[in-house]
Chain A
Amino acid sequence: EVQLLESGGGLVQRGGSLRLSCVPFGFTFSTYAMSWVRQAPGKGLEWVSSISGSGGNTYYADSVKGRFTISRDNSKNTLYLQMNSLRAEDTAVYYCAKNRGTFPLYSSLSDWGQGTLVTVSS
């Protein structure tokens, strides 16, 4: 059974930084692209970033480009999202998700973590 466990969320001041982690279980991590998706309180889903299985290709939403960095350590079986220069509008539940297909931007998200809440105070 696939499981994804996120951690690292919390309360941070505007302009601060936070690093989210996601640890996978039940599949060969290095062979799958991975993504981060967020959901602001009471709002819909917003794609944040994706990374290829090797980590060599990364993709970002315009809203976070230049501030967030996605990375992965396949030797440690961990996905990361480094978030800098945080803004109030970054407040959301952040979900880690496993891509179903090879190319992360076209494929569906077959499995999701439980989410970790990031709150940016002003």
Chain B
Amino acid sequence: QSVLTQPPSVSGAPGQRVTISCTGSSSNIGAAYDVHWYQQLPGTAPKLLIYGNNNRPSGVPDRFSGSKSGTSASLAITGLQAEDEADYYCQSYDSSLNAHVVFGGGTKLTVL
């Protein structure tokens, strides 16, 4: 069981908008620790997509955006493209006794 909860899968047609949620608690997202998002294409290493809740590294299209509210965060992808099909992970810090850096369980995005 991951400290951060993500839906196992989401899907959308090309051109549509999809969102991926990342639900935490008062010891991580709710404690105002930053949330980061990663994209992992099949057979490759993860790539940083969003850092500090809503910031895009250079080179990441503005179709990708992040937001945070309360104990949850979301990744939104607009204008869905076939090459967006990948696994997506959220990451944060947890201040509880036995946790440090925590990842969500990952969400598989399927482009229909």
Spell out A's residues near B (CB within 8 Å): 35, 37, 44-47, 50, 59-62, 95, 100, 105-115
Q: Check if B24 is an interface residue, CB within 8 A of chain A.
A: no
A59/B100 in contact, CB under 8 A: yes
Query: Which residues from 32 to 59 on chain B have a C-beta closer than 8 Å to any C-beta of chain A?
Result: 33-34, 36, 38, 40, 45-48, 51-52, 57
Q: CA separation between A89 and B91, bound complex, in Å?
A: 22
> With A44-B89, A45-B106 as given contacts, are A100 and B38 in contact (CB-CB < 8 Å)?
no
A106/B48 in contact, CB under 8 A: no
A-B contact count (CB 8 A): 65
Contacts of B57 in A (CB 8 A): 110
Q: CA separation between A50 and B91, bound complex, in Å?
A: 14
CB distance from A9 to the nearest CB of B (A): 14
Spell out B's residues near A (CB within 8 Å): 2, 33-34, 36, 38, 40, 45-48, 51-52, 57, 87, 89, 91, 93, 98-106
> With A105-B93, A110-B57, A115-B45 as given contacts, are A46 and B51 in contact (CB-CB < 8 Å)?
no
Q: Which residue in chain B gives the minimum CB-CB distance to A115?
A: B45
Give the contacting residue for A108; candidates B48, B105, B106; CB below 8 A: B48
For this complex, 13 residue pairs linking A to B, each with C-beta atoms less than 8 Å apart, are: A35-B101, A44-B105, A45-B46, A45-B103, A47-B101, A47-B102, A50-B100, A105-B101, A109-B36, A109-B48, A110-B51, A111-B48, A113-B45
Q: CA separation between A47 and B28, bound complex, in Å?
A: 15
Question: With A44-B106, A109-B38 given, can you name 15 additional A-B contacts, CB distance below 8 Å?
Answer: A35-B101, A44-B2, A47-B101, A50-B101, A59-B101, A62-B99, A95-B45, A105-B101, A108-B48, A108-B91, A109-B46, A109-B48, A109-B91, A112-B45, A114-B45
A44/B101 in contact, CB under 8 A: no
Q: CA separation between A105 and B51, bound complex, in Å?
A: 13
Contacts of B2 in A (CB 8 A): 44
Contacts of A105 in B (CB 8 A): 93, 100-101
A95/B46 in contact, CB under 8 A: yes
Q: CA separation between A34 and B33, bound complex, in Å?
A: 19
